[in-house]
Amino acid sequence: MAFPQGFVWGAAAASYQIEGAAFEDGKGPSVWDRFSHRRGKVFSGHTGDVACDHYHRYREDVALMKMIGLQAYRLSISWPRVLPEGVGRVNAPGLDFYDRLIDELLSAGITPYVTLFHWDYPDALYCRGGWLNSESPDWFAEYTSVVTRRLGDRVRYWMTLNEPAVFVVIGHMDGRHAPGDTLAFDQILRISHHALLAHGKAVQIIRATVPDAQVGAAIVGKVGIPASDAEADVEAARQYTFNFRRHDLWHHNWWSDPMLRGEYPADALTLFGDAMPAIGPHDMQIIHQPLDFYGMNVYNGEYVRQGADGMPEVLPLPMGFPITAFYWPVTPEALYWGPRFMWERYGLPIVITENGLANTDWISLDGKVHDPQRIDFTRRYLLQLRRAAADGVALHGYFHWSIMDNFEWAEGMKQRFGLVYVDYQTQQRTPKDSAYWYRDVIASNGATLDQPPAL
Ligand code: IFM
């Protein structure tokens, strides 16, 4: 059985994680350039200064994408590479890089899907208050306009923000990601509101500058997986996914209800009370812009049943449950229930903007990289996604995270997520077994998922 006709097969990466050239060709510093150089912030002092050197090796990387048969590639733009001070002066060599990359992709027959913000925020703007500053949505709108006016004649698919829950909370409240702040919850809600306004303004700019644009965002959040087929457990998993019981923003609908319904979830507003920032009379209208697809990053979920008190209850994982090198549980059903719940709630075609496995891959004595776990992980998840399509969920496409090993934020180069192995000393690329396996999956539009892979 194949995926629906027209389903898009891709892979993804992000600017700071692969580009390198962190201080070249007029690029301004980002908060990640600063943070990764602070002692003790990133595993073993790793930085993205060079990363995969994609800035210089993008032609080789696009050739690898073509070899794998990717139909689409999700990339992100480094804001300070394009606008070193975040606003104002445009850095021509920075913009030229993306111009060349897009042309290279198109000439390889690969459709670019561009994310405007995947966390490398201009340090110059951070020094002006960053996302706390009420001007920050306008800064993002200005940046968006510079990018879309240059690339919009060739790029049709756009995403505004990647995983706002992560850069807002892990970056500004937990301090484990750049910029490394530990702000109070009311400040976090203010940042979150500004990020949503930035999204809305950016969508308006994209619509005004790109003919026939297809626009979304890439959201991450809890996914409840019903512990059984019983309707009570399905409902408990749905409630767990969408209902607010604690002061956390790790719910899809914290971001997507304002974007797609023009309102914050009512239970969250009650719970957060006075911590909420003042909301301007037109704010929700600005945030609530029509979108074309629902982008979601899915790595795992939690098994939920209806508890004795009628409330959702998360089941503890049994001892020895499969986990990735990141210690994330392997829960393939998340790629069934996540898309299904979002489709039910928002009615937009789903794009899996990220999904993949962190592993401890290395080059074997035979010179190849054998990664049977990645193949098995991806096969299990994709079979669940295909089940969602069979059950009527409209699916647009799937982007594997990641095309190549890269700088995994606070984990540095410790976690390898790539279909292509990168030797960070030599910058040599080696497609892993999973790259060849994924090539066959793409070529068959998913039909080969039924065949046990030759391991
Ligand atoms: O590498 C990250 C990516 O930047 C955002 N989503 C999750 C991935 C794996 O942690």
Atom of ligand 1 nearest to the CA of 409: 1
pLDDT at position 1, please?
Answer: 87
State percent of the chain over pLDDT 90.
99
CA-closest residue to ligand 1 atom 4: 14
Q: 8-450 maps to which CATH number?
A: 3.20.20.80
Confidence of residue 377 (pLDDT cuts 50, 70, 90): very high
Q: What is the dihedral of CA 318, 418, 213, 445, to 10 degrees?
A: -80
Q: Provide the whole-model pTM.
A: 0.98
Q: Which tokens in the block code for residue 90?
A: 């445009």
pLDDT at position 87, please?
Answer: 99
Atom of ligand 1 nearest to the CA of 408: 1
Selected catalytic residue, list 19, 104, 163, 333: 163
Residue from 159, 168, 409 to probe ligand 1 pocket by mutation (most atoms less than 8 Å from CB) = 409
CA-closest residue to ligand 1 atom 10: 408
Selected catalytic residue, list 104, 302, 333, 354: 354
Residue from 117, 168, 402 to probe ligand 1 pocket by mutation (most atoms less than 8 Å from CB) = 402
Q: pLDDT tens digits for 19-73?
A: 999 999 999 999 999 999 999 999 999 999 999 999 999 999 999 999 999 999 9
pLDDT at position 48, please?
Answer: 98
Q: If you measure from the C-alpha of residue 430 to the centroid of ligand 1, how many angstroms do you get, rounded to a whole number?
A: 21
Residues with CB under 6 Å of ligand 1 are 14, 17, 163, 297, 354, 401, 408
Q: pLDDT tens digits for 238-257?
A: 999 999 999 999 999 999 99
Q: pLDDT tens digits for 114-143?
A: 999 999 999 999 999 999 999 999 999 999
Q: If you measure from the C-alpha of residue 306 to the centroid of ligand 1, how many angstroms do you get, rounded to a whole number?
A: 31
The rounded Cα 395 to chain-centroid distance in angstroms is: 17
Residue from 403, 408, 416 to probe ligand 1 pocket by mutation (most atoms less than 8 Å from CB) = 408
Residue 455 clears pLDDT 80, i.e. is over it = no
Atom of ligand 1 nearest to the CA of 119: 4
Q: If you measure from the C-alpha of residue 229 to the centroid of ligand 1, how many angstroms do you get, rounded to a whole number?
A: 31
pLDDT at position 83, please?
Answer: 99
Residue from 17, 75, 299, 401 to probe ligand 1 pocket by mutation (most atoms less than 8 Å from CB) = 401
For residue 163, indicate whether it is catalytic. yes
Q: pLDDT tens digits for 70-89?
A: 999 999 999 999 999 999 99
pLDDT at position 454, please?
Answer: 80
Atom of ligand 1 nearest to the CA of 326: 10
CA-closest residue to ligand 1 atom 9: 408
Q: If you measure from the C-alpha of residue 16 to the centroid of ligand 1, how many angstroms do you get, rounded to a whole number?
A: 11
Q: If you measure from the C-alpha of residue 408 to the centroid of ligand 1, how many angstroms do you get, rounded to a whole number?
A: 7
Q: Which tokens in the block code for residue 228?
A: 């059984």
Q: If you measure from the C-alpha of residue 320 to the centroid of ligand 1, how many angstroms do you get, rounded to a whole number?
A: 25
Q: Please work out, in degrees rounded to the nearest 5, the angle formed at the alpha carbon of residue 355 by the alpha carbons of 352 and 359.
A: 170
For residue 411, indicate whether it is catalytic. no
Do 314 and 245 form a contact (C-beta atoms < 8 A)? no
Q: Could you tell me the residue ranges of all domains in the chain? A: 8-450
Q: If you measure from the C-alpha of residue 33 to the centroid of ligand 1, how many angstroms do you get, rounded to a whole number?
A: 17
